[in-house]
Chain A
Amino acid sequence: MEQPSDEALLIAYANGDRQAAGDLTRRLLPRVLGQAARMIGDRAEAEDVAQEAMMRLWRIAPDWRRGEAQVTTWLYRVTANLCTDRLRKSGRHMPLDAVPDPPDPSPGPVAAMAADARAEALEAALMELPDRQRQAVILRHIDGLSNPEIARIMDIGVEAVESLTARGKRKLAALLLPQKSELGLSDG
């Protein structure tokens, strides 16, 4: 059976359907939390941001204008703004030396450890990017959104998105690729 759209669930929630809140939470909260965690680099703060973003979704539900925007686009945008506010207020910046040590190449679950190390290395490297570049790279290459959708989330043009992601990837490559062999990747 076809799943109801996010918008249909949101409208059902606004009309008092209690099941809809659970369905929406299971569907959207992981994405919001993932985006916040990558943007902020702190799990506890990311959870606070995710809760706040979802709270704003519940509050907007009665006034949601059908067909005007995608729920996910709206939510990504709210999350991004909340993250930016937090980072701006805290003035935090994670140094690259927070990148974890490469895994011990001894036998065992090396592949999984290498994957974990790569993910952690990427998260640390992402924190080296300016906020806008980081946001664009996360939305494009981890969340898998299209450039036009990212443009709507970030309220910029598609060309600006392409420029941000290109510059972000160039810097990530400079930071991460020299560690490829240490992170369980061949140079080939």
Chain B
Amino acid sequence: MAEHEKNQPVSDEAGLDAFFAAARDRSPRPSEDLMARVLADASDAQPEPQPVAAARPSKTSWHPRWITGIGGWPGVAGLATVTMAGLWIGVALPETVGDLAFGLTGDGYDFSGLSAGFETEATDG
């Protein structure tokens, strides 16, 4: 750098503002021809508009309606669990089932005492 440039007072640089302002005011404007060329380029390079995806059939349309009726696949899973539990109870625990059964039907109870009393009452009546 030349010595005189190094020694240029900073305050002198402020005098450049008028030059910069003049340059800003005199900024070149694009000609119509340039605008047309740029827009033609833009048109050539522009990607095609993305087509809207065709409506696809509902993913659930092949389901039997009863699946939907019981709440979809979670309902099917619950139903299967209950079915398997019933099967297991029936096959693996027959004695327990028997105990439960006579508890419900009354088999094995001695009703003789009760019967006598019942007959007495009936006779008296």
Which A positions have Cβ atoms within 8 angstroms of B? 13-16, 18, 21-22, 24-26, 29-30, 33-34, 37-38, 43, 46-47, 50-51, 54-55, 58-59, 61-62, 115-116, 118-119, 121-123, 125, 141-142, 144, 167, 169-174, 176-177, 180, 185
Complex CA–CA separation, A15 to B50 (angstroms): 7
Cβ contact of B39, chosen from A15, A21, A116, cutoff 8 A: A21
Taking CB as reference atom, which chain B residue is nearest A169? B13
Contact B5 A43 (CB under 8 A): no
21 contacts between A and B (CB under 8 A): A13-B46, A16-B48, A24-B42, A29-B30, A29-B35, A30-B28, A30-B30, A33-B29, A46-B28, A50-B30, A51-B41, A58-B41, A115-B25, A115-B26, A118-B18, A119-B19, A121-B19, A122-B23, A172-B13, A173-B12, A174-B8
Q: Give the residue of B19, B26, B37 whose beta carbon is less than 8 angstroms from that of A51.
A: B37
* Chain A residue contacts of B25, Cβ below 8 A: 115, 119
Q: Is B122 an interface residue (CB 8 A)?
A: no
User: Which residues in B have their C-beta under 8 angstroms from that of A121?
Assistant: 19
- Complex Cα gap A50–B15 (Å): 31
Return the contact of A172 from the options B16, B31, B37, B46 (Cβ within 8 A).
B16
CB-CB under 8 A from A174, the residues of chain B are: 2, 4-5, 8
Give the B interface residue count (CB, 8 A). 37
The yes or no answer to B24 lying at the interface (CB within 8 A) is yes
Counting CB contacts under 8 A, is B34 at the interface? yes
Q: Judge whether B37 and A169 touch: CB under 8 Å.
A: no
> In the bound complex, what is the Cα–Cα distance between A2 and B38 (angstroms)?
25
Q: Interface centre among A15, A54, A185, by most B CB within 10 Å?
A: A54
Q: Which of B12, B38, B49 contacts A54 (CB 8 A)?
A: B38
**Chain B: CB-nearest residue to A140:** B20
- Please give, as numbers and ranges, the residues of chain B lying within 8 Å of A29 by CB-CB distance: 30, 34-35, 38
CA distance A33 to B26 in the complex (A): 12
Binding site for A on B (CB under 8 A): 1-2, 4-6, 8, 12-13, 15-16, 18-20, 22-31, 34-35, 37-39, 41-43, 45-50
Q: Whose C-beta in chain B lies nearest to the C-beta of A122?
A: B19
Given contacts A30-B27, A61-B46, 6 further A-B contacts (CB under 8 A): A26-B35, A30-B28, A51-B41, A121-B19, A170-B8, A185-B15
B41 to chain A, nearest CB (A): 5
Report A-chain residues with C-beta under 8 Å of the C-beta of B15: 173, 176-177, 180, 185
